[in-house]
Structure 1
Amino acid sequence: MSSSTDDVVEVIRLAPDAGLVNSLGANHTLESAIADIVDNSIDAGATRVSVRLMTRDDRLTQVEIMDDGKGMDARAINNAMTIGHQRDYGDGDLGHFGMGLKAASFGHGNVLTVWSTMSGATSVGRRIRKADFSKDFTCEILATAAAIEHESDRDAVLGTTRGTTVVWTEVRNAYRGHDAGEARTWLATRNDVLRAHLGITFHRLIADERLRIDILVDELGAGLGAHGVPVMPIDPFAYAISGHPGYPKDLIAKAGDTQVKLRCHIWPAKSDVTGFRIGAKSGEQFQGFYIFRNDRLLQVGGWSETATPGPARQLARVELEDSGAIGTFLAMNPEKSGLKFEPVFHDAINRAESSDGTTFRTYLQDAETTYATANKRKRYRKPVIRPDKGLAPAVRKQIGIELPYIDGDSVSLKWARMPEGEFFDIDVQRNTLLLNNRYRALFAPDGGSLNDAPVVKALMFLLTHHLFEGHHLGVRDKDEIALWKCILGAAVVAESQMRSK
């Protein structure tokens, strides 16, 4: 059939039906919705954002997001409240669809109010109610006097009258039950999840001090004197040493004239730190692709059908910077909570190679080998006596990760007064490893505590734990103790003399 325009008799404009408002934000979580508002703040040049979760009787009632950005005048705020309006986005902007403010807000509240002040312009306020907006896109223009009052609120929280405040009222999707304890638990959980989400989504900006986000949970009407607690950055690649030699490694995925660098990481096996673990979820749940656009994290893990997730691949994370990939290889969803990989990108990943010939498949195998080797090594380690008092909790936890424990007894580490020239002693009856208090200052110069000198204590535990695991000390055990006492005694005296010079 011909596509000629010869048969066209008229052109009409088909405006969107206002009913589409009812579907806005359906896929937004509370944290992804707030992150979308923060994107707008960053695009407006904000360096500080305050998220305020306001409650009544421990139930979330209102959400406020304040920023110190450039603010908006009447024209700009009208455009911002218009559904589907796409401003002129710069290369560094995080906005994309012109739907973020409305979708994020109506995903969780029935009423959206925006107050804004721009330098040299009259303060403005607008409000849209979902029930009305879904009929005819009605927007209320708010009194200038009320907008000026909200300048002082921003000044109290952020130290500036300029900027924008987004307010969600008639909040939905919050705890509605009658149990006060459940309500507090729900609120505490949402607060923790929100912190983790914002901390990883904006970790580069926060770590570089380009952005500060704080979160406050407070009773509605309690005043503006309280300040929120800053969100800490969570870097998903913050390991000290790679889990596999030669990584991170760059693989180049190509399709036509477009190419994308895949920086492939392998975390150290048995990691249990923030960054590998995110929020309350284990690191196994965060394997896969991490996709950045203008230092904003758009996708937190997931293999997007390029590989199958599994425990053996939990150390594998791939870092991808958007350098033209979005729109060519990747399609972003309106919530910015993940991306769709186009078929051409799947093919490009399968053909991707590093300069030394490593393929994507080889990378996954290297990650699996790292995981398997660590677990195999752990499986054949003999159980040890459990360390108890005197050893730092973090050290005790790591020993428990690396070594199985013998049921029953435990061993403590304790400083005690001993003759000069002795470093340690063994009290088998009390299951205690004694260290000479005379030399405590050498290893805990800032003053002693129960769990001080963790390096020395960990080394002594590794050296002597087997002595506490038998029923009695044999001839060989006693000879070992005598040898260690002689050498370590001479070493600690030498150490003391060197420090005193």
Structure 2
Amino acid sequence: MSEEEEIELDPEPGILIESLRDVGYSFNSAVADIIDNSITANSGNVSVFALPFGDGGFKVAIIDDGDGLDHDELLKAMRLGSSNPRLAREAGDLGRFGLGLKTASFSQCRRLTVVSRCDGDTSAFTWDLDTVVRSNKWTVIELQDVSGLFGVDELGEHGTLVLWEKVDRLTGENGAGRVDYERAISEAQDHLALVFHRFLGNEPGVPHITLRVNGRVVEPLDPFNVENPATRADSEELVCPGVRLRSYTLPHVSKYADKQEYERYGLPGGYLRNQGVYLYRAKRLIIHSTWFGLAKKTALTQLTRVRIDIDTDQDEVWKIDVKKTSAQMPEAVRKRVKQLIEVIGAPSRRVYRRRTANLTSRESYPVWNRSEKDEHVVYSINEGHPVLAAFRNELDDGQAKKFDSLMAFIGSMFPMEALVYDISNNSDNTSTEKMGSEDFADTVRTFFARMRQTSDDEEVLDIMHAVEPFKSRWSETVTALGIEER
């Protein structure tokens, strides 16, 4: 006789269903999870309506024109754990555990209704969490009349409506919370534009959908900005079966039409924060802006973004969670990406170093020299700079000695730590103080006079036109010299 006895322990419905609300969805990720189902159902159009009501409530309706579900299929879809995550999925199936519809919805609302039309028939079921808690039973409500439901008039001959009511996570219980609805909807729209950008665009091999939020078409937000001709894209690499990698270097700020466009592609938080790996599962973005602990985010690589595509059969290997918002990079991929980090960052470094090349080029007459001593990089004042040399030549021997000591003192106090910190954390807003017009004009005339001692006027002007600070203030330069440029 066996000493083991199997005892069935059913979970308490009222307790478990409340616990399922705290899986960790945000409003944005919950809406995205519902749209995953619409894409899997071959939808061409998806509409999201998220509107406050006069009673202080808030309702969200997500409507698609996909295949739809019949009565039995919809009832099965309403079951918690409606599919086995270990079973093979179709290549374009964005689902994972068969939990997303329910857990994403429960995380935001206390009443979930799904209406689906298929082959001329309409079916509808509701999960009401208050009913489950009160009865302590896994009970869904089948609706016979759906005519009064919010959003149902937008449902076509086939497709599905997912309706959230009692949206207490945004508004609080009984709508008591104060919510900036416009901001919440705007942030959700930006999130969807990024997460589904490959479906919203015209990428070959990716099914196209048109997504609207409160009637407004959502335009794709491509984090790699591939339409900008200044974006650099490396060749795609097959890292291992089911995993493909491609790195991109975004354009420098000077290559954008305006500041607004530059900031749009920087994404919330800016370029420094949003560098790193962008992980896609079946073309859907699930994680972005992380190096998975393989490298630090630095200013020199802030223009680098790496796209990694994984197939749906990689879910278990990558440990994709139910929210599809976290993953763990497998060791085989980590090793390969680690090898590529330096190569991946090189183009981004070149973009920034191109603009700072004048610091190290003799032909650019830098104020600061860069040299390497005993494996250390050393910055020192270039005492041979024409402006400094011209000033020194006007001094007597005693004054010249004091001037040299002053230059040595200033050079030794180069604020290296502060500069590295500021560039790493806020490079776009780190700059030198602009020289005043009068001081600039004096510098122009001094530089020109010094250089014409060894070169003719045309050669000096050519040099000045190519180096800073004269290059970026050329009209002021020629004005200070009293010449007209032909």
Using the size of structure 2 for normalisation, the TM-score is: 0.66
Structure 1 position 212, deviation (Å)? 1.0
Separation in structure 2 between the aligned mates of residue 80 and residue 370 of structure 1, nearest angstrom: 52
Q: 2:266 maps to what in 1?
A: 277
**CA-to-partner distance for each residue in 1:341-392, whole Å, 9 max, x for gaps?**
2344423433xxxxxxxx313224415623651563598999xxxxxxxxxx
1:376 to 341, 353, 356: 356
SS of the equivalent of 1:340 reads coil
Is 1:171 paired with 2:167? Answer: yes
Summarize the alignment of residues 135-284 of structure 1 with structure 2, pairs less than 5 Å apart.
135-143=136-144, 146-147=145-146, 154-155=152-153, 157=154, 160-175=156-171, 186-208=180-202, 210-216=208-214, 228-239=215-226, 240-241=228-229, 247-254=233-240, 258=241, 260-270=243-253, 273=262, 276-278=265-267, 280-284=268-272
TM-score where L is the length of structure 1: 0.64
Unaligned runs of 5+ in 2: 368-427, 439-469
Match of 1:301 in 2: 289
Match among 3, 17, 25 for residue 21 of structure 1: 17
CA distance in 1 between counterparts of 2:343 and 2:209 reads 34
Change (3 A) 1:49 1:260: closer
Worse-superposed segment, 193-202 or 321-330: 321-330
Give the CA deviation at 1:59: 5.7
In structure 2, relative to structure 1, the CA distance for the partners of 1:49 and 1:80 (3 Å cut) is same
Task: Note if 1:333 corresponds to 2:332.
Answer: no
> What corresponds to 1:498 in structure 2?
none
| Cα pair distance change 1:400/1:86, threshold 3 Å | closer
Q: CA RMSD in A?
A: 3.8
Partner of 1:102: 102
Q: 1:110 to 1:316 in 2, by over 3 A?
A: same
Q: How many residues align?
A: 370
Q: CA deviation at 1:467?
A: 3.6
Contact 1:118 1:163 in 2 (8 A): yes
Gaps of 5+ in 1: 1-5, 217-227, 351-358, 383-398, 410-461, 485-501
Cα distance in 2 for residues equivalent to 1:39 and 1:130 = 23
2:306 aligned counterpart, secondary structure: strand
Q: Distance in 2 between matches of 1:48 and 1:233?
A: 14
- Structure 1 distance, partners of 2:45, 2:108, is 23
Instruction: Decide whether aligned partners of structure 1 residues 400 and 298 sit closer, same or farther in structure 2, where only a CA change above 3 A counts.
Output: closer
The aligned runs of 1:121-140 (5 Å cut-off) are 121=121, 123-133=122-132, 135-140=136-141
Distance 2:242 2:321 in 1: 22
1:91 aligned partner: 91
CA, structure 1 residues 36+268, in 2 after alignment: closer, same or farther (shift >3 Å)? same
- State, as a whole percentage, how many aligned pairs show the same letter: 24
Shift of 1:268: 2.3
Residues 377 and 276 from structure 1, CA distance in 2 versus in 1: closer, same or farther, beyond 3 angstroms?
A: farther
User: The residue matched to 1:333 in structure 2 has which SS?
Assistant: coil
Counterpart Cα distance in 2 of 1:473 and 1:142: 82
Residues 299-333 of structure 1 deviation map (CA, whole Å, 9 limit, x = unaligned): 12212222222333211211111136724641111
**Structure with more helix by fraction:** 2
Distance in 1 (alpha carbons) for counterparts of 2:108 and 2:322? 15
Shift of 1:265: 1.7
1:260 CA drift (Å): 2.9
Instruction: Tell which deviates more after alignment, 103-112 or 126-135.
Output: 126-135
CA spacing shift, 1:407–1:46, aligned 2, 3 Å: farther
Q: Is the CA contact (8 Å cut-off) linking 1:238 and 1:275 kept in structure 2?
A: no
Q: Which moved more, 1:294-303 or 1:100-109?
A: 294-303
SS of alignment partner, residue 319 of structure 2: strand
